[in-house]
Structure 1
Amino acid sequence: MKQIAILGSTGSIGQSTLSIIESFPDRFAVSSLAAGQNLDAAFEQSVRWHPRVVSVATEESAATLAQRLKTAGISDIEVLYGTEGTVRVATLPEVDFVVSAIVGVAGLEATYAAVEAGKAIGLANKEAMVAAGEILTAAARAKNVPLLPIDSEHNAVHQCMRAGTKEEIRRIWLTASGGPFRQLPLSEFEGITVEQALKHPTWVMGRRITIDSATMLNKGLEIIEACRLFNLPPSDVKVSVHPQSTVHSLVEYIDGSILAQISVTDMRLPILYAMSYPERVQSDLTFDMASLGQLNFEPPDFARFPCLRLAYEAAEKGGAHCIALNAADEVAVEAFLERKICFTGIARTIEGVLQATPETHPRTIREVLALDHQAREMAREVLARAGHEAVVPRT
């Protein structure tokens, strides 16, 4: 029985993880949960799963949750808050596997602490690998800890790589749906609305990741994550636009063979794969081959999606540039969602920050977080200098 800790238990990945645990009660059990700001969901999950420890965002929320649990007759769950609480959730001695699914760098310290504690990691938080991948992978190697990707693309690569050795791999291919604007004329990008950008053609995701998919910055972050997870240079990580989102990724071998991973577009499958690794567990997540139909692949348009070009440039430089890419994007996407900048202003903001970012490589998590803070401040300065108005209309 694997004891599972979930960082980000109230988000979509966290909820899918709990669904998997519910489907396989003989294999997995909930040990601890980091629930963030959703107090009602944290209460419901605590009552349903009875974790040993649950952590929420603030001291006030923790006090409220503890009182609600006491009123419900539950007094043996340790309720914590903040970064210290999340670290505690990730490092309990009995925890066997940590699902890292907190969006952004908020879960970075807990993920690193889990690695240092020798816990196997299921990584659904690409921002942690983008910002501190050099540090995380070095620590994982030192502790002999597996970093198992949950993102569907990297999970697919991981599966395909089991067919050969690293020396036999020529390159990997990450697929991208192309988002909602794959065929929109470039001349219309300035007028893209928030509502349009939030309508992803394939996946139902959080607001930031949906916008990142529309700009293809999300795929850029995945390029950096792939470089670090699989120890490959950016030139060996390619992107192919695949609107059907049926082939999740491909691995090309030196003999010319290309292996593709195909499955349903359901995040429970990569979660189950990571939690069960190296086993494969029978499930009902089957793919109907009769529905496969036509498969299209096309190269990405860097003029249409400049964020993808910026990500490749950051990947080549590494270190602070990868941190700045992610941090600037978070600030810019928030500004777009608040209708303070237009859609194309996201890429312009990121580029302005990257141009001002020095080449340096942090050696500690504290240094990573400091650089992240600096990049966010720089992004706000870029936005202030640009003096954008709320140019994105409602529809």
Structure 2
Amino acid sequence: MKKLAILGSTGSIGHSTLSICESFPDRYQVVSLAAGKNVEDAFAQCLRWRPKVISLASEALATNLLARLKAEGISDIEVVHGTAGSVYAATLPDVNFVVSAIVGVAGLEATYAAVCAGKTIGLANKECLVAAGELIIAAAKQHGAALLPIDSEHNAVHQCMRGGTPKEVKQIWLTASGGPFRNTPLADFEHISPQQALKHPTWVMGQRITIDSATMMNKGFEVIEACRLFNLPARQVRTTIHPQSTVHSLVEFVDGSILAQISVTDMRLPILYALAYPERVAVTAKEALSFDLTMLSQLDFSQPDLTRFPCLRIAYEAAEAGGNACIALNATDEIAVAAFLEGRIPFLGIPRTIEAVLQLTSGNPPASILDVLDADLAARDTAREVIARQYAGARR
């Protein structure tokens, strides 16, 4: 029986993880949850799963939830809040598997604490490895914590790498749908609206990750994450446009063999793989995770155009630089994407803002999580200044 802490329980990964717990009650037990700001979902999850601990984003939200639980006669669930609450939920002695799915650097401290506590981590928060990968990988080695990727691409690489040893890997290939603009004339990029950018051709995701997919920054983050997870330099982590999204990643070995992982586009599959590892758990018709082979009738692959998608080029450069460059990349992207969604900068203002901030970024690599958080805040401030200076009065 694996006993779970689910950080980000009210998000899409959290809901998918709980769906797996529903299907396999003899294998997985929910011990603690971190639910962010969604009190309604948090309350429903408490009624269904009866965790020992649940954490909310703020004291006011925690007080609200606690009152609702008491009104239902439930007094055996400990309600905590804030970063300290998430850390507490992630490091409970009963927990032996932590699903890290809090979006952004908000989940960094809890994930790092869980690693230092020797927990096995199912990692769905790519910002953790982008911003603090060197620290997290070092802590995992020191404390014997396993890091199992839940992102579909890295999960696919993890599966393919079981076909050889690390020294036999020549390179890995991360596939990308290309987003909604892979065939859009470059001259039209200046006029792309938020509504157009939010129409992803394959996946249904949150707003930031959908925009990151449209700019291919999401793939850039995945390159950095892959470098750290699989101990590879950026030149051995390749990207390819694959609009069908049926091949999730490929691993090329030194003898010329290439292994690919193919599955339905359903996040429950990589979550189940991580939860069950090193086993594979049989699914039934109820889970509906089987793959229709007729979907392989056409498989297209092409090289990404770095002129069309400068964010991917910038991410490769940050991967080579490491340290503060990766922190600034993630922080600035979040600020720039929000500004684009609010109509304050154009679509191409996203990579321009990121590049401007990276040119202003320097300093020693972070030596602690506090250093990471300080560098993150500094990069956000710089990004806001760049946007205010370059795009004043640009709201559309």
CA distance in 2, matches of 1:388, 1:302: 28
In the TM superposition, residue 389 of structure 1 has moved relative to its aligned partner by 3.6
Q: 1:183: which partner in 2?
A: 183
Q: 2:79: which partner in 1?
A: 79
CA distance in 2, matches of 1:104, 1:18: 21
Q: 1:333: which partner in 2?
A: 337
Q: 1:347: which partner in 2?
A: 351
Structure 2: which 5+ residue stretches go unaligned? none
Runs of 4 or more above 2 Å deviation: 387-392
Structure 1: which 5+ residue stretches go unaligned? none
Task: Check conservation: 1:341, 1:389, Cα contact below 8 A.
Answer: no
Structure 2 residue aligned with 1:374, among 373, 378, 394? Answer: 378
CA distance in 2, matches of 1:41, 1:76: 18
Q: Do residues 92 (structure 1) and 92 (structure 2) align?
A: yes
Q: 1:362: which partner in 2?
A: 366
Q: Do residues 140 (structure 1) and 140 (structure 2) align?
A: yes
Q: 2:63: which partner in 1?
A: 63
Q: Secondary structure at the match of 1:295?
A: coil
Task: Check conservation: 2:100, 2:123, Cα contact below 8 A.
Answer: yes
Task: Check conservation: 2:227, 2:233, Cα contact below 8 A.
Answer: yes
In the TM superposition, residue 391 of structure 1 has moved relative to its aligned partner by 5.0
**Aligned residue runs from structure 1 range 266-345, under 5 A:** 266-284=266-284, 285-345=289-349
Q: 1:109: which partner in 2?
A: 109
- 1:267 and 1:113, CA in 2 relative to 1: closer, same or farther beyond 3 A? same
Q: 2:224: which partner in 1?
A: 224
Task: Check conservation: 2:345, 2:391, Cα contact below 8 A.
Answer: no
CA distance in 1, matches of 2:65, 2:336: 33
**TM, length-normalised to structure 2:** 0.98
Deviations 1:33-85 (A, max 9, x none): 00001111111111111100000011000000000010011111000100000
CA RMSD of aligned residues (A): 0.8
In the TM superposition, residue 93 of structure 1 has moved relative to its aligned partner by 0.2
Task: Check conservation: 1:317, 1:359, Cα contact below 8 A.
Answer: no
**TM, length-normalised to structure 1:** 0.98
Deviations 1:225-273 (A, max 9, x none): 0000000000000000000000000000000000000000000000000
Task: Check conservation: 1:133, 1:228, Cα contact below 8 A.
Answer: yes
Q: 2:157: which partner in 1?
A: 157
In the TM superposition, residue 388 of structure 1 has moved relative to its aligned partner by 4.0
Q: Report % sequence identity.
A: 68
CA distance in 2, matches of 1:383, 1:281: 49
Amino acid at match of 2:137: T
Amino acid at match of 1:172: I
Deviations 1:153-201 (A, max 9, x none): 0000000000100010000000000000000001001111111111100
Amino acid at match of 1:26: D
CA distance in 2, matches of 1:299, 1:262: 20
Amino acid at match of 1:175: T
In the TM superposition, residue 11 of structure 1 has moved relative to its aligned partner by 0.4
Q: Secondary structure at the match of 1:353?
A: helix
Q: 1:243: which partner in 2?
A: 243
Task: Check conservation: 1:321, 1:359, Cα contact below 8 A.
Answer: no
